[in-house]
């Protein structure tokens, strides 16, 4: 039976092992606290967070290791509907030891507005448009499928257009009782032809003059999975492959695609996660010029 194996030498070895585990575990824990990470940005839905990772450590999320740039910075983005506490795993490379790091989220709510009596055709795109819409969605997804390993984002972000903010991240309209896609950008009500400039350095990965939904569209890769998109422009000043400094011209404000009036719609992604540009401005403000 089980008990018999605990007699004699077996028992002594077991007791000794237990004692050693207690000694090493007990003394090591007190002197072996994980390093603290100082995150910039706020733990809320749509947020972008940045931290410097001490040398000799890795950070994991959902089984994958987060990319670390040349200055040992890591980025983390939160989707619009995130509500659960985020648990990242800090791992020491030397011995593989892991610590869970828990970050509860600050609750966030969004403006929801009802719009009734909309002609159904403007709610549901006609079937002949669907092939074009799918083709363009694939084009946009491909542009963000990989990101350059250069921290263009690190010099910080400024607003890409002058003008009153007329639309915010996360808001949603319910058309004829059916919830539309949430709005993921921040809208600047600038006049037709007003300048759109790069909010931070980056490389142009998409420049399309006339997409069905977003009209004149440019996507800029700021490095390490951070992307900006600029929608509804009336003219583009860049082509794919252009490297931009902060403040360089991208195009001109317009109302192309499905827009009700001239404005710039600025969106941001961390990989496939749509984040709030206004929270990016807070987390990574442009360095003083």
The nearest distance, CB 165 to Zn ion, in angstroms, is 10
User: Does position 208 bind Zn ion by CB under 5 A?
Assistant: no
Residue 130 CB burial class (10 angstroms; 0-12, 13-18, ≥19): exposed
User: Does position 187 bind Zn ion by CB under 5 A?
Assistant: yes
Pick the closer one to Zn ion by CB: 155 or 166.
166
Please choose, out of 30-38, 187-195, 249-257, 281-289, the segment that lies near Zn ion by the rule CB under 5 A. Answer: 187-195
Pick the closer one to Zn ion by CB: 150 or 166.
166
| Distance between CA atoms of residues 173 and 111, nearest Å | 9
Pick the closer one to Zn ion by CB: 34 or 167.
167
| Distance between CA atoms of residues 51 and 58, nearest Å | 12
Pick the closer one to Zn ion by CB: 182 or 271.
182
The nearest distance, CB 111 to Zn ion, in angstroms, is 13
How wide is the angle at C-alpha 156 spanned by C-alphas 151 and 161, nearest 5°? Answer: 120
Q: In what order do the strands lie in the sheet with 64-65?
A: 64-65, 57-61, 86-92, 98-103
User: Does position 185 bind Zn ion by CB under 5 A?
Assistant: yes
Helix, coil or strand: residue 64:
strand
The nearest distance, CB 189 to Zn ion, in angstroms, is 10
The nearest distance, CB 95 to Zn ion, in angstroms, is 49
Which of positions 88-147 make contact with Zn ion (CB under 5 A)? none
Which of positions 227-286 make contact with Zn ion (CB under 5 A)? 265
Strands (E), 54-180: 57-61, 64-65, 73-77, 86-92, 98-103, 112-115, 164-167, 172-175, 178-179
Tokens of 30: 């007190």
Which of positions 165-184 make contact with Zn ion (CB under 5 A)? 167
The site for Zn ion (CB under 5 A) is made up of: 167, 185, 187, 265
């Amino acid at each position: 039976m089980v008990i018999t194996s605990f007699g004699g030498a077996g028992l002594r070895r077991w007791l000794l092992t237990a004692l050693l585990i207690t000694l090493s575990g007990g003394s090591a824990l007190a002197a072996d606290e994980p390093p603290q990470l100082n995150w910039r940005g706020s733990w809320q839905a749509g947020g972008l967070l940045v931290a410097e990772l001490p040398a000799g450590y890795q950070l994991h999320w959902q089984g994958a290791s987060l990319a670390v740039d040349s200055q040992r910075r890591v980025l983390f983005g939160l989707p619009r509907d995130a509500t659960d506490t985020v648990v990242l795993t800090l791992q020491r490379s030397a011995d593989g030891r892991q610590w869970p790091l828990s970050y509860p989220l600050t609750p966030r709510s969004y403006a929801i507005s009802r719009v009734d009596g909309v002609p159904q055709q403007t709610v549901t795109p006609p079937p002949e448009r669907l092939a074009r819409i799918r083709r363009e969605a694939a084009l946009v997804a491909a542009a963000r499928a990989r990101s350059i390993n250069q921290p263009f984002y690190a010099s910080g972000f400024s607003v890409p257009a002058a003008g009153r903010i007329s639309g915010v991240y996360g808001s949603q309209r319910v058309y004829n009782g059916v919830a539309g896609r949430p709005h993921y950008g921040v809208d600047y009500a600038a006049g037709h032809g007003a300048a759109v400039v790069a909010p931070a350095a980056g490389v142009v990965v998409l420049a399309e003059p006339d997409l069905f939904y977003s009209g004149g569209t440019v996507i800029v890769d700021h490095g390490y999975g951070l992307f900006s998109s600029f929608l509804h422009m009336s003219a583009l000043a860049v082509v794919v492959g252009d490297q931009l400094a902060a403040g360089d011209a991208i195009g001109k404000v317009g109302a192309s695609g499905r827009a009700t009036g001239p404005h710039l719609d600025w969106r941001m992604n961390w990989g496939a996660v749509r984040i709030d540009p206004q929270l990016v401005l807070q987390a990574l403000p442009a360095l003083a010029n």
